[in-house]
Homo-oligomer: A and B are copies of this chain.
């Protein structure tokens, strides 16, 4: 099972609405089950540096099938996955990356959001993922 472009665009619409509702400007990336980009949108005025971060968050969430923030807890100094961020051409392991599941609970892709606090990034990513 793989996310379609129509589903990915639906996730981006929902993420943009949430982002506007909480007064933020986000970069929003959706990758498919292969961790390749399917759809992307950068809201006007969003940080330039967040473009790459949003894509890396989406990829990271699919690479390990979990929210990026969970990996970030395990990659702290002294934790089991310290500096895992050096793999896969760069992971981003703070919140804002969330797997996307279909109705059967299968992971069909992931969404990554960057442009505000990590709490806001995660909230917008959740809004996008929940739209599927």
Interface residues of A (CB under 8 A from B): 4-5, 8-9, 32-44, 47-53, 56, 60, 62-65, 72, 75-78, 80-95, 117-118
Contacts and interface: CB of A to CB of B under 8 A. Distances in A.
Contacts of A118: 80-81
Nearest to A93: B83
Contacts of A41: 5, 8-9, 38-40
Nearest to A69: B80
B53 A84 contact: yes
A80 B117 contact: yes
B9 A56 contact: no
Contacts of A94: 80-84
A125 to B, nearest CB: 15
Given A36-B51, A49-B88, A63-B49, A83 B80 contact: no
Contacts of A91: 49, 83, 86
Contacts of A5: 41-44
Contact of A92 (B40, B42, B62, B87): B87
B76 A78 contact: yes
B72 A48 contact: no
A48 B33 CA distance: 10
Top 5 A-B residue pairs of the complex, sorted by shortest distance between their CB atoms = A49-B63, A34-B34, A40-B40, A86-B90, A83-B85
